[in-house]
Structure 1
């Protein structure tokens, strides 16, 4: 634990307390490391806007999610450990009712079901679908197992309260001009000295002076908070939109839109109507929109996260690019990065920023490269 004022020495300075930064900080603290996290506390951070959906079979091709057999157990173990630590639920395991959009999609998917590629992540397609009143399912669908959703807002609230109380988290905007990085470590604001700085800034990484060369392409998403008392509470619904039950009284979250720059400053009426129409196409159940939120995701060109050390300043590291699957990816990747930082373990090549080193503008090492 770090003292709350006049910090001098720590092992890690983590910039950003979204899901990536929060779980990395938690992982490092579990290993006995001294961690300080700086976070500006932006209300529209992607980790707080997202529904936190975990989907083991995703995409139009109904393929198993990347490395699902390793990522899902790690995610479940991490969230269960955090539930035990804070005495409240975060991970809600629910089956996902994935409905087909057309006869062609139905035929294509069912034809592929015979090879057993999905294991037990997909319930036997020969079994009838659950009878959900007012649900439109003219083309049938599949029941996906071992998925669900994570209450990221509640999780981050619990970790934030713990961090502020114990002094390892500061509600503070990071000022890059105050960071001096060298090969053996870094100092910040003349009052903090650390072995490593890890940037977990989400979409804000496009302005990072040290890692701005990485191919992060932010995209904006909007979600609706909806009251629909007749919708099921024991399934996540998915066709054209996801519908996640998030509380009593028929509260569900509906999302999400994708928008490329330029971004809107506030939630838009266009996204509101788009998501409402997707919900109407999914169900005849009456509903009432109670809220709308907007956030910006840190997407990457090849749809894989970005982990690794700076090419010239090994005291600086990055953990970013989790996109829309952060709740599934972050726990295992936080452990993977911690192993690399602490023990020099190799990162998976699919996520290592070595794959993009050709984009790095070669220049003499400097404390603060030009933005």
Structure 2
């Protein structure tokens, strides 16, 4: 019988960062994960962008999240002896004169001044870049080699025995007898005091948290070869262009809400090719196309917390397209909650959706009394 304090389901960026944080605190952890080469974490280009969106708004809590993420990946780099975080300027390209004028006019009042260099000045000349209307040079960001991070941590987990590659079956999770120490028993061979759900978009099938407003969102990316385009920066104009080295780039990503086709589509290939063509004067060749499903949430904030009636079952999920920047700091927040009961931020606490839980109980014909966390 394997006995641990924490059983974590899923080893994407959420499960990996939380497992790392709990193990760093000396806790016993077992992660069960089904390897998926085209998971959202593995497909993502890992962009960390402090200024995002069509409104050029400062990313949520970026002053706290970005430094924590950067420090986390730098620590992993030192530990594993390989690069994980490529810090590079992000050139946010304008789409029109009107957009250019609007952004520059309000730049003095923007809280992103610390992250944006001289918004009124022309962009530097970049070989192969098409910037007819100029843009903003954003500093402090870059991109994370997400699949490399997960592979390094997974290799360590398999070697040390705290990561199992198998499919988790929820029906095999049952309460353990109190005389045997309580907690939860899985498949008759694992006893855990706590179970944390980090299974990404698959959480919509989770019997404990199916009531949360987590909606799968499909994103597709292209890998392209463009020898004439500089690889010293990330480009962003309706899509991102992330350098992979040796004239290779990743372009993405699309957003498709259900219903969507399984796998890649010619429509996404055309859309991303057109967006890349709007950012470069150089010819390019598509060398690959991948699709992944993100765990998106209605209010675009992650889902952290404990089940209202099951004090040993928790969730750390819903990171959408910004997981690489959000997960490291939120992993420490979640670990503090699990270990000491320190309050979660209200924006991410699943208590904000308690009305949905009560409605789910009502529709199932169950009394709506909720348990307390012990």
Q: Per the shorter chain, which TM-score range?
A: over 0.9
Any idea what SS the aligned residue of 2:231 has? coil
Structure 2 matches for 1:53-68, cutoff 5 A? 53-68=47-62
Provide the rounded CA distance (Å) in 2 between the counterparts of 1:277 and 1:119: 31
- Give yes or no for contact 2:104–2:120 (8 Å, CA) kept in 1: no
Q: Does 1:175 pair with 2:169?
A: yes
Counterpart check, 1:316 vs 2:313: yes
Out of 32, 35, 49, the position equivalent to 2:29 is 35
- State how many pairs are aligned: 358
SS of residue paired to 2:286:
strand
Q: Which of 226, 229, 250 is residue 227 of structure 2 equivalent to? A: 229
Is 1:72 aligned to residue 76 of structure 2?
no
Aligned to 1:220: 218
Aligned to 1:303, what secondary structure does the other structure show? coil
Counterpart selection for 2:328 from 321, 328, 331: 331
Deviation at 1:364?
6.1
- Write the distance in 1 (CA, Å) between the matches of 2:60 and 2:135: 22
Could you report, residue by residue, the CA deviation over 1:266-311 in whole angstroms, capped at 9, with x for unpaired residues? 2111111111111111111111111100000000000100000000
Contact 2:224–2:249 under 8 Å retained in 1: yes
Q: Is residue 2:266 matched to residue 1:266?
A: no
Indicate the residue corresponding to 2:297 in structure 1. 300
Flag the 1:87–1:327 CA change in 2: closer, same or farther, 3 A.
same
Distance in 2 of aligned mates of 1:110 and 1:28: 44
Q: Which residue of 1 aligns with 2:190?
A: 192
SS at match of 1:206: helix
Comparing 28-37 with 180-189, which one deviates more in the overlay? Answer: 180-189
After superposing the two structures, state which structure 1 stretch, 226-235 or 24-33, moved more. Answer: 226-235
Instruction: Using the TM superposition, name which of 101-110 and 142-151 deviates more.
Output: 101-110
Asked if 1 retains the 8 angstrom alpha-carbon contact of 2:8 and 2:196, the reply is yes
Deviation, 1:115, is 2.2
Does 1:153 pair with 2:147? yes
**Residues 273, 350 of structure 1: alpha-carbon distance in 2 compared, 3 angstrom cutoff:** same
* Conservation of the 8 A alpha-carbon contact between 1:181 and 1:315: no
- The answer for unaligned runs of 5 or more in structure 1 is 1-5, 366-371
Cα distance in 1, alignment partners of residues 108 and 78 from structure 2: 40
TM-score (norm 1): 0.94
Measure how far apart 1:262 and its partner are: 1.8
Shift of 1:108: 1.0
**Residues 128-164 of structure 1: per-residue CA shift (max 9 Å, x gap):** 3110133221111010000100000000010111001
